[in-house]
Chain A
Amino acid sequence: MTISLVAVFFVAAGLIAAGAFAAAWRRDVTAALAGVPLMFAGAGVAFAGVARFAAAGGPQLFGQEFAVVLAIAATALVALGLGIAGREGPR
């Protein structure tokens, strides 16, 4: 049993599609916002997979570097989106 780049891309495709589905399907915008980190996670997995299996020549860690950037950016975007949504008031 081995890991291949195609298997990594399958997982990345599943995460991206699940994120796109969540962003499109949810009626509540703040719930739809949770799809953004999923799509970023899929992109990060694809980048890390390319860095692991197919980065020929040059620094091999660009993919890992971009995966870190995507994870941090996803958290920042969720925080910004929920901040714009506003705080629940007292009832």
Chain B
Amino acid sequence: MDSLHAIGFYVSSGVSLAGALGVALLGGRDLRGASMAVVGVGLAGIYISLSAGLVAAVALVCYAGCALLVASPLYRPMASVVGPLWRQVGAVGAAGLLAVLVYSAFRGDFVHANFYGGAFGVANLGRLFFAHDALSTEALAVLVLVAFAGATAVWRVRERTR
């Protein structure tokens, strides 16, 4: 792995983490949506530097969709029923989670293996998706169908009862 890949990885990581902090901290839907798009771009860069070109393309499309959904002015805000104390406990828990994950990554002893896949790997991934793991692909398709159909149904029922 050459230096160019490494520079791309670290720059993309910075972009992705900056976007993630924007999603967590910025106010306003449009800013959150823009931050989500930045996360998608950084994520695609990370995947490309990890020789996962197809995953990068899919992530770019999916996170662009997420950004459009998050930035949309159409949905209604819902106030949380959780009090401020529990939200602060959750934030401290997220910091603790970060500490645990970083510590375990730092102290872990991982196997090192040579990678024989290509830079994009479409054919091999296609074989996995549609031959080896066809059932999981169908389950994912059902999940997407149920999610979008359920969202549409809930939306229409609320419109009718309004």
Question: Residues on A close to B: CB < 8 A?
Answer: 1-3, 5-35, 37-38, 41, 44-45, 48-49, 51-57, 59-62, 64-65, 67-69, 71-80, 82-89
Q: In the complex, are the beta carbons of A75 and B125 less than 8 A apart? A: no
A11 nearest CB across to chain B (Å)? 4
Interface of A is mostly: helix
Q: In the complex, are the beta carbons of A27 and B87 less than 8 A apart? A: yes
Can you identify 30 A-B contacts, CB atoms within 8 angstroms? A1-B10, A6-B105, A6-B106, A6-B108, A10-B102, A17-B94, A18-B17, A20-B93, A24-B87, A24-B90, A30-B76, A34-B70, A38-B39, A44-B43, A48-B46, A52-B50, A59-B128, A60-B113, A64-B52, A65-B125, A65-B128, A67-B47, A67-B59, A68-B55, A69-B140, A75-B63, A75-B144, A76-B143, A79-B151, A88-B76
- Compute how far the CA of A71 lies from the CA of B77 in the bound complex, rounded to whole angstroms: 24
